[in-house]
Amino acid sequence: MRIEVLVDVKTTLGEGPLWDVESQRLYWIDSFDGRVFRATAEGHELRAWDVPGKIGSMAIRKDGRGAILSLENGFHTLDFASGEVALIVDPEPGKPANRLNDGKVDKQGRFVAGSMDTMEEGPNGALYRLDPDFSLHSLDSGIIVSNGPCWSPDGDTFYFADSWSGEIWAYDYDQATGGVSNRRTFAKVDTSGGGAADGATVDAEGCVWSALVYAGKLVRYRPDGTVERIIEMPVRKVTSAMFGGPKLDVLYVTSMAKPPLPRFPGDGVLRGSLFAIYDLGIQGVPEPRFGG
């Protein structure tokens, strides 16, 4: 195993690595600076788009010409050619202290993303599903910081974390309707070092990889919730991970250059880098595109 800096753009809050199989391109975001980045598997041909506000996550649309964004004030479309951003729907117009955060697409092309309390204190957030027809549906509530949505390889189990709950949850996922049920604890997160569950992904073996932000670790959980391995990263503020590359065997990991609140730790010169982990001997699963 080897860890390398792939792109050093010093993202204030790097998040959401997304490998698009069809275009063979890697996307990631700077949540605080409101930017979307794109590069090749090797970190070349760097391109960036500015968006109007903080961004929590993104999904590539089925035609590949644009993306769906979860911005601080709702779900939006982004046109890659023009850079134009347009509002689809704001699920929380009466909650100015909230913003949308992490999200991913299910096998049917629906975008599931949650909101968070920007002070990371109150259970004011919720979990939403945006369907290809742009209809919005509420899935869960009472969440402080929504993070780590991902599915088992068969699509029947949905994983999700409220970062400060100290747990990663599993739900039964109805692939026909996009509904969730039977929420239970999948894994207890070791928060003794001040870390919390952040972004996550699932590999082809059904194991969940979770970024332990502020603790500088990636944790691989077996399908039964036990810890299979822990990878120590060169920075403490690791935020999310996803497998990509031509063989889906490179683990891309984002990080933040500056903590969002004063109580969180700082990092050295590698802060905010996009990392690539090679030679793990593990493959990921393709990330679906949004169906609309």
What are the residues facing 150 on neighbouring strands?
159
Of residues 257, 240, 237, 253, the one with CA closest to residue 43: 253
Indicate which residue of 117, 198, 249, 267 is catalytic.
Answer: 198
- pTM: predicted TM-score of the whole model, two decimal places: 0.97
What are the residues whose beta carbons fall under 8 Å from the beta carbon of 213, sequence distance 6 or more? 163, 195, 196, 197, 198, 237, 238, 239, 256
| 73 has binding-site annotation | no
Strand partners, 61: 290
What is the distance, to the nearest Å, from the Cα of residue 260 to the centroid of all Cα atoms in its chain?
A: 17
Has 22 been labeled as part of a binding site?
no
Residue 101 assigned to a binding site: yes
Q: How far apart are the C-alpha atoms of 57 and 73, rounded to whole Å?
A: 13
Query: Does the annotation flag 182 for ligand binding?
Result: no
Domain residue ranges of the chain, discontinuous segments joined by +? 2-278
Extract the tokens encoding 23.
């275009």
| Per-residue pLDDT, 263 | 77
Fold of 2-278: Neuraminidase (2.120.10)
Which stretches in the chain have pLDDT values below 50?
A: none
Instruction: Please identify which residue in the block is written with the tokens 């603790």.
Output: 215
Q: How far apart are alpha carbons 130 and 138 in whole angstroms?
A: 9
> Strand locations in 62-154, DSSP E?
66-71, 74-79, 85-89, 98-105, 111-117, 125-130, 136-143, 146-151
Amino acid at 261: L
Distance, in Å, from the CA atom of 30 to the CA atom of 273, rounded to the nearest integer, reads: 11
Task: Clarify whether 198 is annotated catalytic.
Answer: yes
